[in-house]
Structures are given as structure tokens and as C-alpha cells.
Structure 1
Amino acid sequence: MPVKLERKHAFPLALAPILLALVFVLFKLYTASKVTNPETGRVARVALSPEQEQRLGLEAYAQVKRDEAGKIIQSGPDVDLVKRVTTRLARAAAEKAVVQYNWEVSVIQSHEKNAFCLPGGKIVVYTGIIPIAKNEAGLATVLGHEMAHATSRHSAERLFRSQIVQTILGGVQGSMMDMDPAQRQTIMGALGAGAKYGATLPFSRKQESEADHIGLLYMARAGYDPREAVAFWQRMDEQLGKGSPPAFLSDHPSHNTRIGQLQTWMPEAQKEYNQHHNRAPAA
């Protein structure tokens, strides 16, 4: 009597969420908008249009101004300094920019040693960073870096990558719904940590390095000695270096790494600086 063989290749339903997640990821990768950085040539996928970025930046900027309304200063030497440096850097950034920005800056009286630029070109500078900047070129190091985040559309790129990671993690979690909750939580915690330290933080450090590189070119193109960027980060290392976490735990490169990278890019920046000084003075 012939023996009937049963096929036992039924598709494991537990894998369905993972496969659906992968299909969605492939679709996103295929359909996402691509942008080419005009300064470095790096191609990136982004989750927002320039208009959406600028709208979100305006909303965030308005919130910052509401929150800090009592500390915003409208005039004085610090405001003049910040606006002068911003204006020169904006001209430098515009030379190769694909998207043109309506730059705007607010100066906040505070001991906080910080500055940031929101998507769309809205800049906030805390006066606590100015003594460390020490001079115009030092401040140009800070602001050039922050403005480079905006022109490189780093926020839209981070959002795209975050969506990809969350989709994959969601698919994995969906495939473990029949698993013991405590075991599932342990596995998802491990995967989340792996995604953070193995993908998210290294990518953030990569963006920070790119902003350092482009900011160096901006300041050189604007007529600021790019060697002052190294001096600035040496001062920052003296101020904050001892309390910095290990590089692999941080979303920023270590100060020593930044200084080394800046020195590597210095010949390129020096060329921009020399070309600037060979131009005829502007009328």
C-alpha cells in the first residue's frame, strides 16, 4: 500500500509580524525622499519635506520663546556679537545650499553653556557659551556646527531612521505575543538596548561629526580662521571633559575625537579660508 506523505511546511504565523515589518521597511526605503548634502555629497533618506521641517521648527521656536520670554535679550554686546556671526555664517551656508533658510536668532541670558538650531533655521544661543567661545571665531565654531544640522536636514533623517527601527522592533514584539510576558520584556529590553547602542547613538555621533565638518567649512568661508575651532574644543574639554560619559554611551563624539577630526579636515577648511581672503572686498 502506498504511503501518503504529509507536507509539514505550514508558514509559522509567529513570523508574520516580522515579515510585515520588513515589507514595510523595504517600502519605506524604496519610496523615501533622498537628499544629497551639498557640502559632503552624502546621500540621506528623510521623513519630512523642507516645508514640514520648517513648520515644526517654527512651532518649537515659538515654544522656546514663550518658555524663555523673561530671559530673552533684545540688545547689547552679546546680541550684536551673535547676530554679526550668524549673518556671516548664513551667507557662507547659502553659497552651496539647496534649501534657503530664513535664519532667525534669539539670545537668552543664562549661565547655560549651550546653543542650538531648530529645523528651518531658528537659532537659540545661551549667553553662558559666549565666555567659552572667547571670540567671534570661537562663536562661529558653535553656530556653524548648529546651522549645519539644519542645512543637512539631520532632524528629518533622524526621524526616518527612528521610524525604521521602531517598525522592526514592533514586528519582533508582535512575533512574541505567545511568549511569557516577563521573558518577552527581557528580550525586548535587550533588543532596545542593542538598537540604541549599536545603531542610534553611533548614527547620532556620525551626524555630529558631519555638522562639525560642515560648520568648519562655513566658518572658514565666512572669513573666520578655522584653526580657532580646535582651540574652542580644547577649551570645552577643559570646562566639561571630566564629566563626559564614555563615547559609546554618548550621542556626541568625545572632545578628543572631535579635535582629531577637525585637524583632519583642516586643509580643506584652510583652502576655503584662503579663497575667502583672496576675494575682492565686498562693497
Structure 2
Amino acid sequence: MPIKLERKHACPFTLVPLLIALGFVLFKLYTASKVTNPETGRTARVGLNPEQEQKLGLEAYAQVKKDEAAKIVLTGPEIDLVKRVTNKLAKAAAQKATVNYNWEISVIQSHEKNAFCLPGGKIVVYTGIIPVARNEAGLATVLGHEMAHATSRHGAERLFRSEITKTILGGAQQSLAQMDPNQRQTIMGALGAGAKYGATLPFSREQESEADHIGLLYMARAGYDPKEAIDFWHRMDELLGKGSPSEFMSDHPSHGTRISQLKAWMPEAEKEFTQYHSRAPAA
């Protein structure tokens, strides 16, 4: 009578790819460049050097100007306002900056209520944000925040973190390669959601809060009343608050959180504002 041998099923999970990925992550963490924020003292690892950041920023800025060429504002009170506020903030930022920035601005005619600053100091302002800002101090709130993203090198830090997350998830996927496809898809979906809501979004909110903090110091150091930042975010809350996603699902803090944090940082900002007035020449 023939003997029937039972075939043992291969384990659908192997640790080797995941361990290799984790080893690579540890290597990256050990060898990555570290920078210390000159305003907050926070240390971060970055995936680009300043020259690489500036190159990417220039490329993206050139593309924006090409795409929006017909809407770029070249003269008038709006461009004068943005230039005036930017120049004051740039001087304030330079007092503690560790990297020199060649600030450039483009003002785009649009109802969009937004502004952003690319790595290296290339700023884009949509005219729709100006009525919400109402005055120079309100605009300084917006631009100080965006410029703080650049001086804090948040883009390079996000890139580094993104590479780490992709490496770990890639290792996990390879470790599950022999698993049933549907089961593997379910597990990877759960891991991806965990990475998004447990790491990526909270980290993004931390960067936004840091930019709020530093931007508040910039505007106060430039001679703008920091309390105007709270008024600005109250206006944004009235304008957009009802349609905003919950903070847990957003890459930005809620307007309420921002206002509470700004109030907590206000004594520090008011000290900068007072020092500005002691330095400013008498009229």
C-alpha cells in the first residue's frame, strides 16, 4: 500500500524582507543629516541638503509661474502690499536663520484663499487671501507661517519621513508576498491607514503648529502686533470652519487648536514685539 506523504503548507509570512527594511531604516536614521531649528531648538532629520531644496523649489516655482502666467499680478497695490510685508518678515527671519534665502514672490489673481512658500524661499500668494487678511498684520500672519515652513526645512523633513514610511510598508508587503492576495490587501490597507492616521497626519499637524509658532515670532519681530494672528484665525474659522474636516483626519490643526496654541505662545511673541519697538527708530 503506497504511503501518502502529507505536504506541509509554506508559512505565508516571512520576516526577512521586513527585517531588511528595518535595517535600512536604522541605517538611514543613523546617517541622515540632522538640523536644529534656530527658533524652537527642535532637531530633525532631513532628506535633502539646502542646495537640493533650493533647486527643487526653483523648479516648482518656475512651473507655477508658467502655469499661471496669465494671472500673475505685476503692478498695483496688491503686489506692493505683499512685497512690503515679505521684506519685513525676511529681515525678521534672518536674525536667527542658519540658511540664507533668496526670497521671491509671485502674486496670482485668483479667488483662492491661499498662499504657499516653496523650499528655498519662493512665495506664491493668491489675491483671494488678501481680503481675509484685511491688513498688513493679517497678511504677515499668513506669510510668516509659510516662510517658517521654508526656514524650518519642513519639506526636506517630510521627504525623509516619507521615505522611511515607504520602506517599512514595502518590507511588510514583501514579507506577506506568499499570503492570500485578499488577506494581504486587507492587512496592507490596515497598515497604510495606521501609518496615515497614526504617523503621517499627526506629524504634518506638528509641522503646521511649528510654522504657526515661528510665524508668530517673525511677525512680532517685524513689528506687527501678534494678537492680529488670533483675529485672523477667528476670521478663517468663521469663513471655513463648518466645512473643515475633523482634526484627526486633517493634515492641519483645527482653527480652534491653532487659536489656543497662539494664545499660549503670545507672551513669547509679545516680548519680541516689545523688543522691536525698543530697536525701531523714533518717528
Q: TM-score, normalised by structure 1?
A: 0.95
Distance in 2 separating the partners of 1:30 and 1:110 = 45
1:131 corresponds to 2:138: no
Any conservation in 1 of the 2:47–2:159 contact (CA below 8 Å)? yes
Give the equivalent residue in structure 1 for 2:88: 88
Alignment CA distance shift 1:13-1:245 (3 Å): closer
Distance in 1 separating the partners of 2:24 and 2:255 = 38
Give the equivalent residue in structure 1 for 2:187: 187
SS at 1:14 equivalent? coil
Distance in 2 separating the partners of 1:273 and 1:254 = 26
| 1:13 CA drift (Å) | 8.0
1:105 corresponds to 2:85: no
| 1:224 CA drift (Å) | 0.2
For 1:102, the aligned partner's letter is: N
For 2:220, the aligned partner's letter is: A
Give the equivalent residue in structure 2 for 1:178: 178
Give the equivalent residue in structure 1 for 2:204: 204
Any conservation in 1 of the 2:16–2:175 contact (CA below 8 Å)? yes
Give RMSD over aligned pairs: 1.4
Give the equivalent residue in structure 2 for 1:147: 147
Give the equivalent residue in structure 2 for 1:75: 75
Distance in 1 separating the partners of 2:282 and 2:98 = 24
Give the equivalent residue in structure 2 for 1:227: 227
- Structure 1: 5+ residue stretches without partners: 1-11
| 1:280 CA drift (Å) | 4.2
* % identity of equivalent residues: 80
For 2:88, the aligned partner's letter is: R
Any conservation in 1 of the 2:13–2:178 contact (CA below 8 Å)? no
Spell out the pairing of 1:259-274 with structure 2 (5 A cutoff). 259-274=259-274
Give the equivalent residue in structure 2 for 1:249: 249
Give the equivalent residue in structure 2 for 1:36: 36
| 1:38 CA drift (Å) | 0.1
Distance in 1 separating the partners of 2:150 and 2:280 = 30
For 1:212, the aligned partner's letter is: D
Distance in 1 separating the partners of 2:280 and 2:31 = 46
Q: TM-score, normalised by structure 2?
A: 0.95
Distance in 2 separating the partners of 1:28 and 1:190 = 25
Count matched residues. Answer: 273
For 1:242, the aligned partner's letter is: K
1:55 corresponds to 2:55: yes
Give the equivalent residue in structure 2 for 1:162: 162
Distance in 2 separating the partners of 1:136 and 1:148 = 17
Distance in 1 separating the partners of 2:219 and 2:266 = 12
Structure 1, residues 179-210: CA drift from partner, whole Å, max 9, x if none?
01111011101100110000000000000000
For 2:143, the aligned partner's letter is: L
- Structure 2: 5+ residue stretches without partners: 1-11
1:18 corresponds to 2:18: yes
Alignment CA distance shift 1:178-1:54 (3 Å): same
SS at 1:278 equivalent? helix
For 2:73, the aligned partner's letter is: I
For 2:59, the aligned partner's letter is: E
| 1:14 CA drift (Å) | 1.2
Distance in 1 separating the partners of 2:282 and 2:212 = 27
SS at 2:275 equivalent? helix
